[in-house]
Structure 1
């Protein structure tokens, strides 16, 4: 059994291959008299790391890089475990390479980090964030103006 981010996983061997099962998806568990012998050279920590990276690589398709203020790195670690790499740190800012599922998730991260993050690459993410910010300003700015003129 492995606990990760408050979820439990079972690593089991089936058809001579190790597999990972999320325990919360089990519908029923039946106790039997069957037993197993753990493979002597099985390294759970190594398996878990390799399996986790392989799983993340199947999900992560959108690569981008941000400069992030050190005060926000804990949030990044919490939101994107295993999906980033700190490639440089200077003067209280870290350059961080990410791989997430989509540009939409990348935009959400940038907006969540606010002025504590700067988009390094790609330009398409910068353009998408600017366009979304302009839309938000039009929507919410117009509402603010209506409220001020009606009072």
Structure 2
């Protein structure tokens, strides 16, 4: 365990440059005191680690020095093959480089590890597209990705649900979510999210990208998704549900499934339970919940019940009931 940690310290300093003691300790999930003991052991073994004082100081390796311990464990090789997803790589125009990299990795591994790595590739397949959906058409993805890789600004014609705009953005990252590609890019100095399938035209510009200080793509995306869900579900529905109705509710969407799982519903004599679930709007909720009757009955708000009754009347008149 400690030997692995010592190796991790070397590789983190080699790939990230100067790091403070606090940052290293946090990344390794150890105390700063333990980190200092590990640094002492590495320097005693001849690893040239230097301490720099000051606000921007920390530990760093001697310039030009790097480790020679680059072999992969069997588990690490499996993870590398697991992460090499053929579909997304093909979308980005990287399917051939991916195949070449995997072949080089296989030939560099010892025989015992080679079979384990190939097993992961042959026995695990990830399909990122949801059921009953097709992947978005993304003809501009290659241009967007090229601008991102080369740190160049991007001019694009973008079509949102509101309107169509011409915009110059600073690409910061790409995200693949449920089969849909998204570009995270700065516009007016603030990160924003753009669905790649809505990019009608794109051109890489000569101007270099200006990245916001300390921008973290993964952290931005988690916060963005949470903010989107909070803004999306602006209303609620009070319902009575049978056991079958609870099962149907769980399949509506993730927000409702979470509400069902976290609720402490009160059970009535007829076996139904009362609980509150989030909905996007009265009209959207009426359309979703009407089809779950009779296993789910909406008890409130009144405006939602009225919307459902109105839909039922229209359906009755349509079908001559």
- TM-score bracket for the superposition, by shorter chain length: 0.5 to 0.7
The aligned residue for residue 248 of structure 2 is 72
Aligned positions, number: 138
CA distance in structure 2 between the aligned counterparts of 1:141 and 1:6, rounded to whole angstroms: 42
- Structural RMSD (CA): 3.4
Change (3 A) 1:53 1:31: same
The aligned residue for residue 10 of structure 1 is 183
**What is the TM-score with the length of structure 1 in the denominator?**
0.65
Query: Which of 1 and 2 has greater Rg?
Result: 2
The aligned residue for residue 45 of structure 1 is 218
User: Which 5+ residue runs of structure 1 have no aligned equivalent?
Assistant: 143-151
Asked if 1 retains the 8 angstrom alpha-carbon contact of 2:236 and 2:276, the reply is no
Asked if 2 retains the 8 angstrom alpha-carbon contact of 1:11 and 1:20, the reply is yes
CA distance in structure 1 between the aligned counterparts of 2:319 and 2:236, rounded to whole angstroms: 30
Indicate yes or no: 2:201 matched with 1:21: no
**What is the TM-score with the length of structure 2 in the denominator?**
0.35
| Cα shift readout 1:95-151 (whole Å, capped 9, x = no counterpart) | 342131x32211111122222212132022123323432443354354xxxxxxxxx
Change (3 A) 1:84 1:131: same
User: Which 5+ residue runs of structure 2 have no aligned equivalent?
Assistant: 1-173
Task: Identify which of structures 1 and 2 has the higher relative contact order when contacts are C-alpha pairs closer than 8 Å and 6+ apart.
Answer: 1
CA distance in structure 1 between the aligned counterparts of 2:251 and 2:183, rounded to whole angstroms: 28
**2:200 partner SS:** coil
